[in-house]
Amino acid sequence: MTGAIFSMAVNVGIALLFAGSFAALALVFRAQRQALWFALAYSVGALTPLSEILVRLTPYTTLFSATSYATSLAAMLLIGHAFARFCGVATTRGIPLTIFVTGLALRAAIWGGERDSMPYELFFQLPLALACAWTVVVMTRVPRPAPLYRFVAGYFVLMSAFFIAKAFLAVAFGSGPTAKAYAGSTYALISQAGGAVMMLGVGLLILLVLVKDVTDRSRGEAETDALTGIANRRGFDRRAEQALKRAADEGQPLSIALFDLDHFKAINDAHGHDVGDEVIAAFAAILKRAAPSSALIARTGGEEFAILVEQTTAEPCRLSAEAIRLAVLTEREGGSPIISVSGGVAEFRPGETLAELVRRADQQLYRAKGAGRNLVYRAMS
């Protein structure tokens, strides 16, 4: 067994291992069903080195030479499609389909041509490079891309360059006079080893993307209030700390409003906890509608809520809180109990901690309750 054949066999195993890993993640985590596309891409990719082995070991040279190229190109395009599906990128099938059809046409056009010549090798590698470039395009279209997605895009730029470089390597080292002779060439060893490194890199990046998604979803669930669908205290504290840091770094204003449903215990006692839950959910819905669209909204306690608004001073925040208070009085549904809400507002002071900001807003909330409830007070700067 030559070194190239051994590398091909290893590549088959690596591709199938990644395919199985992606499929397992998709089956274990329902939210990751799109990972099955990655499993499909690597399953198809495993056929490429397998076909190249069969070119050497069987008399069906033409058949397996064709399947080797077709599966390699299809696998690369499927990876781009998988990223598009996973990241929610709207794409057209026309571009990858055009690359695939054009690639097959170019492969047919150079079939039987002079191997190790620059035109032959460039026409052979160019569609594969374009397939990698397609993934780069997909990753640059991801809404609000994370640094990891930018790294993926950069890696596929490198892969695209690798395929172009392979044309020059084939000319320099020689890929063998025939497809059967390819497996015994020095170029085959270089190509398969380089391909293995690239395949490992892509597979590990995909796993990182999948694991990050699982982690983000788990954190999102842990930081979301199940009854209202808004942030809970844990989620509020984490995101509010980040907002305070931005405000301090950029010298921008930031304000917070705290709310407490008036006489909520009496509602639970008179109508039961199911009705109390309905009231809490209804107030959360009002917050979503009436609070500024950029506000961080959270349920911080049983009947306690908060909104945090960046780039906003205390008075506009107080006006938003007043609009919420009035909405509670006017948007009551027919059979629901009559409720009101009290609020306290404070503006971030440079050097202040989140706990200190919340404490000042809480003092204003208690002032509002002490003054008869159904009021919003704000701290004076």
How many other C-beta atoms are found inside a 10 Å radius of the C-beta of residue 243? 20
Which helix (DSSP H) or strand (DSSP E) does residue 261 occupy?
strand 254-261
User: Residues 52, 121, 278, 303: which is the catalytic one?
Assistant: 303
Cα separation, 266 vs 68, in Å, equals 73
Q: What angle do CA 189, 190, 194 make, to 5 degrees?
A: 115
Structure tokens that stand for 359 in this block: 């404490």
How many other C-beta atoms are found inside a 10 Å radius of the C-beta of residue 248? 15
- Asked whether the beta carbons of 175 and 182 are under 8 A apart, the reply is yes
- Phi, psi at 365, each rounded to 5°: -65, -45
Strand partners, 306: 258, 298
Cα separation, 277 vs 187, in Å, equals 69
- Asked whether the beta carbons of 123 and 117 are under 8 A apart, the reply is no
304 is catalytic: no
| Catalytic site positions | 303
